[in-house]
Amino acid sequence: MRLTVKLLNIAFFCAALPLFSSTGPDGELTKRTRYLMDTYCSVLAPVKGDMKTAAALDLALDRVEELDKKFSAFRPGGQVYEFNKNGTPITDPETLELVKRCLDMNVKSGGAFDITVTPLVRLWGFYGELPKKPKIPGKEEIAAAMKQIGPGSIELKDGRLIKLRASAEIDLGAGAKAYAVGEAMKSLKASGVKSAMVDLGGDLYAIGLYNGKAWKAGIKKPRGEGALGIIGMTDLSMSTSGDYERFYEIDGKRYCHIIDPVKGVPASELISVAIITPDATMANLLSTSVFVLGRDKGLKLIEKYPGTEAIIIRANGEITLTEGLKKLFSLKEKGGKK
Ligand code: ADP
Ligand code: MG
């Protein structure tokens, strides 16, 4: 069972952002922010003058910083970078665990999620600065890049990730951010923090209550006024995949940075997917997979994961909410205020 809201002819796209009122028994929120994983990472908590809680926010950001170095495909020194560039096997257990989850999702998503998608992302110009004069790659170029990809080009065995094809590369971009959000939250909990929100470029995780209520995340309409709706989050994470942050247009058609590895072209049925579940990494693996699969196949995939909810917005403006989300989500009227 799911709820479909038809809002045709409205150019929506959505992103998550934390919302909160600063007055109440818990007092003001303390916020620490650093630029990490190519975006801003903020940790927020009601500190109430407790120095230990304040220090816990910095510790959580240290953890994200550590993971940023570890998972980056672009920063020299990390194992992912060395694997891609020089073929050095990856042995770091934490990186291997994330790779394993990504490989599992490749199978579950029927190939829609693929960390070896790198040659296609590169061909379409989505690494580094976006092309000033983008052009659609030729059929032969796409076919050649598609031959380079696929999980068969790498092997995870005996505590090592190795290349089976010299040209293989991995891109953990669709899992790393949310994994880091989950780890930041673990770090906060280990420090004894009971109520907090982590926001890594719109991938969110909230624990506990703030002023006696669930934390609130707005699904915003960046092209319109106000929020599309608000989600109450307690011990839940939310990850979004959309076509609105990294994209270019050719002849009025939008091409975004999430590529369908089966077709070799940017996914285009959806403009935004938000997945809500307590498992932060799973939220991101699913949001990217669903973005590639489209609404109907995406919903089938989500159904395999009990306790996972979604908001799916199609390019034609249709919004689909999973049934369980109705309890957490309040839809705002068109142009509604926060
Ligand atoms: P967003 O950047 O909107 O948060 P995602 O979390 O879905 O989106 O991550 C997108 C990133 O994942 C891309 O920048 C690219 O590095 C990588 N990617 C692109 N297509 C795929 C795919 N089919 N499977 C796995 N990773 C992908
Ligand atoms: Mg994401």
Query: How would DSSP label each residue in 37-99?
Result: TTEEEEEEEE-TT-HHHHHHHHHHHHHHHHHHHHH-SSSTTSHHHHHHHH-PPB--HHHHHHH
Q: Quick one: angle between helices 93-108 and 173-190, nearest 10? A: 130
286, 291, 294, 297 alpha-carbon torsion, rounded to 10°:
-10
* Least confident span in 16-25, 123-132, 133-142: 16-25
How many structural domains are present in the chain?
A: 1
Task: Determine the structural domain holding residue 318 and report its residue range.
Answer: 1-338
At 282, is the secondary structure helix, strand, or coil?
A: helix
Q: Can you tell me the distance from the alpha carbon of 188 to that of 52, in angstroms, rounded to the nearest whole number?
A: 11
- What is the band of 219 on the pLDDT scale with cuts at 50, 70, 90? confident
257, 263, 268, 273 alpha-carbon torsion, rounded to 10°:
-70
Ranges of H-type helices in 191-294: 280-293
What distance in angstroms lies between residue 322's CA and the mean position of ligand 2's atoms? 19
Burial 91-119 (b: 16+ CB within 10 A, else e): ebeebbebbebbbebbebbebbbbbbbbb
What's the CATH code of the domain at 60? 3.10.520.10
Instruction: Give the atom of ligand 1 at the shortest distance from the alpha carbon of 244.
Output: 3
Q: pLDDT value at position 304?
A: 96
List, chain by chain if needed, residues with CB within 6 Å of any ligand 1 atom: 113-115, 117, 121, 171, 173-174, 241-242, 245, 257-259, 261, 284, 287-288, 291-292
- What is the band of 9 on the pLDDT scale with cuts at 50, 70, 90? very low
Flag whether pLDDT at 222 surpasses 60: no
User: What is the distance of C-alpha 313 from the center of its chain?
Assistant: 16
- What is the band of 11 on the pLDDT scale with cuts at 50, 70, 90? very low
What distance in angstroms lies between residue 192's CA and the mean position of ligand 1's atoms? 33
Tell me the range of 127-136, 185-194, 321-330 where mean pLDDT is highest.
Answer: 185-194
pLDDT in tens, 147-202: 999 999 999 999 999 999 999 999 999 999 999 999 999 999 999 999 999 999 88
Nearest CA to ligand 1 atom 9: 174
Nearest CA to ligand 1 atom 2: 241
Averaged over 286-311, what is the pLDDT? 97
Nearest-ligand number for the alpha carbon of 115: 1
The DSSP bridge partners found for residue 9 are none
What distance in angstroms lies between residue 294's CA and the mean position of ligand 1's atoms? 15
Q: Can you tell me the distance from the alpha carbon of 160 to that of 198, in angstroms, rounded to the nearest whole number?
A: 31
What distance in angstroms lies between residue 138's CA and the mean position of ligand 2's atoms? 28
Instruction: Give the atom of ligand 1 at the shortest distance from the alpha carbon of 261.
Output: 23
Q: Can you tell me the distance from the alpha carbon of 209 to that of 229, in angstroms, rounded to the nearest whole number?
A: 19
| Position with higher pLDDT, 75 vs 285 | 285
At 295, is the secondary structure helix, strand, or coil?
A: helix
- What is the band of 4 on the pLDDT scale with cuts at 50, 70, 90? low
- 122, 288, 291, 313: which to mutate for ligand 1, most atoms within 8 A of CB? 288
* Least confident span in 118-122, 220-224, 322-326: 220-224
Nearest CA to ligand 1 atom 23: 113
**Average pLDDT score over the chain:** 89
What distance in angstroms lies between residue 212's CA and the mean position of ligand 2's atoms? 29
Instruction: Give the atom of ligand 1 at the shortest distance from the alpha carbon of 292.
Output: 23
CB of 142 closer than 8 Å to CB of 119: no
* Least confident span in 40-44, 89-93, 216-220, 275-279: 216-220
- What is the band of 337 on the pLDDT scale with cuts at 50, 70, 90? very low
- What is the band of 223 on the pLDDT scale with cuts at 50, 70, 90? low
pLDDT in tens, 59-114: 999 999 999 999 999 989 899 999 999 999 999 999 999 999 999 999 999 999 99
DSSP string, 87-144: -PPB--HHHHHHHHHHHHHHHHTTTSS-TT-HHHHHHTT-SSSPPSS--PPPHHHHHH
Neighbours of 28 (CB within 10 A): 12
Flag whether pLDDT at 245 surpasses 50: yes
What distance in angstroms lies between residue 261's CA and the mean position of ligand 1's atoms? 11
Neighbours of 326 (CB within 10 A): 14
Among the listed residues 307, 193, 196, 287, the one whose alpha carbon sits nearest the alpha carbon of residue 240? 287
Q: Can you tell me the distance from the alpha carbon of 123 to that of 153, in angstroms, rounded to the nearest whole number?
A: 18
What distance in angstroms lies between residue 7's CA and the mean position of ligand 2's atoms? 24
Instruction: Give the atom of ligand 1 at the shortest distance from the alpha carbon of 291.
Output: 7
User: What is the distance of C-alpha 276 from the center of its chain?
Assistant: 11
Q: pLDDT value at position 2?
A: 60
